């Protein structure tokens, strides 16, 4: 019996993959099975046997029992999107360190709102109309993120203009939807600012526009009741 145990121990040392698979932690097993997948955090979810990974922008899941990776959302029977909630929690701390001096500042109100937006996004334009009605009470710090080539042209027009706030209001009001009359300056500083806005969007984990941050909370998408509640706090 002792000889058998000794042989088994020797095999375990010579061929660790043969004996240690069952002893690996879920995270170690993931690293072994998916060595090319990078991540920032690895943690258990409220669903038994399912682990959440976050790579700085996207959440995905690992099931050690099947040794597979899953992409998508975990939704409870009550309709609570656990993936979305977790993503917002991870995004929130990143907003506190955003360089607001690189944003387009609109207004001088006491209530501070940070927004990531796209000039062609319908919900972004609804957000523009929402805040335009209360602009005396709000200061918007806007990061412009193009989701299309036309959006990029409109963002360049805004940042190239001598009166950026007016250009922003005109673009989001639809004045340049025909595509004509846009300022296409080649100012390298404008190009740098556009790249900075895109990089910051990636830094916070932007998945779509609009995205708002106020009163220490993130509002993902144009959600008037949620925005109004936070503004009234």
3-class DSSP string for the chain: CHHHHHHHHHHHHHCHHHHCHHHCCHHHHHHHHCCCCCCCEEEECCCCCCEEEECCCCEEEEECCCCEEECCCCECCCCCEHHHHHHHHHHHHHHCCCCHHHCEEECCCCEEEEEEECCCCHHHHHHHHHHHCCHHHEEEEEEECCCCHHHHHHHHHHHHCCCHHHHHHHHHCCCCCCCCCCCCCCCHHHHHHHHHHHHHHHHHCCCCCCEEEECCEEEECCCHHHHHHHHHC
Residue 10: what pLDDT? 37
222 CB-contact burial (10 Å; exposed 0-12 / middle 13-18 / buried 19+): buried
Residue 41: what pLDDT? 95
CATH 3.30.460 applies to domain 20-82? no
Q: Using CA atoms, how far apart are residues 5 and 35, in angstroms rounded to an integer?
A: 32
Q: Using CA atoms, how far apart are residues 109 and 128, in angstroms rounded to an integer?
A: 15
Residue 12: what pLDDT? 43
Domain ranges for the chain, please list them. 20-82, 94-232
- Per CATH, the number for 94-232 is 3.40.30.10
Residue 3: what pLDDT? 44
Q: Say whether the peptide bond before residue 109 is cis (omega within 30 degrees of 0).
A: no
- Rg of the chain (C-alpha set): 24
Residue 17: what pLDDT? 47
Per-10-residue mean pLDDT of the chain, 233 residues long, equals: 40 46 85 95 95 92 96 94 91 91 96 97 97 94 96 97 97 94 93 96 92 94 96 90
Lookup result for tokens 């740098």: 192
Q: Which of 219, 226, 212, 218 is nearest to 103 (CA)?
A: 212
What tokens were used for 67?
């040794």
151: Cα separation from own chain's centroid: 19
Lookup result for tokens 């099975």: 33
The model's pTM? 0.79
What tokens were used for 184?
């296409």
What tokens were used for 135?
């602009």
């Amino acid at each position: 019996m002792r000889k058998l145990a000794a042989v088994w121990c020797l095999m375990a040392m010579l061929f660790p993959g043969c004996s240690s698979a069952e002893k690996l932690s879920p995270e170690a097993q993931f690293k072994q099975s998916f060595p090319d997948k990078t991540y920032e955090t690895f943690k258990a979810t409220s669903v038994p046997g399912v682990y959440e990974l976050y790579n700085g922008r996207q959440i995905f899941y690992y099931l050690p029992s099947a040794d597979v990776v899953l992409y998508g959302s975990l939704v409870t029977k009550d309709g609570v999107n656990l993936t979305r909630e977790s993503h917002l929690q991870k995004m929130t701390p990143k907003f506190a360190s955003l360089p607001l001096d690189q944003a387009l500042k609109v207004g001088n109100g006491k209530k501070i709102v940070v927004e990531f937006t796209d000039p062609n996004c319908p919900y972004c334009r609804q957000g523009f109309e929402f805040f335009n009605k209360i602009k005396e009470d709000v200061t918007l710090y806007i990061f412009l993120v193009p989701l299309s080539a036309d959006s990029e042209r409109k963002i360049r027009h805004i940042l190239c203009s001598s009166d950026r706030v007016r250009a922003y209001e005109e673009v989001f009001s639809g004045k340049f939807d025909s595509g004509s009359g846009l300022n296409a300056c080649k100012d390298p500083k404008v190009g740098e600012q556009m790249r900075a806005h895109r990089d910051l969007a990636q830094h916070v984990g932007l998945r779509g526009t609009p995205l708002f941050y106020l009163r220490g909370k993130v509002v993902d998408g144009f959600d008037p009741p949620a925005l109004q509640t936070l503004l009234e706090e």
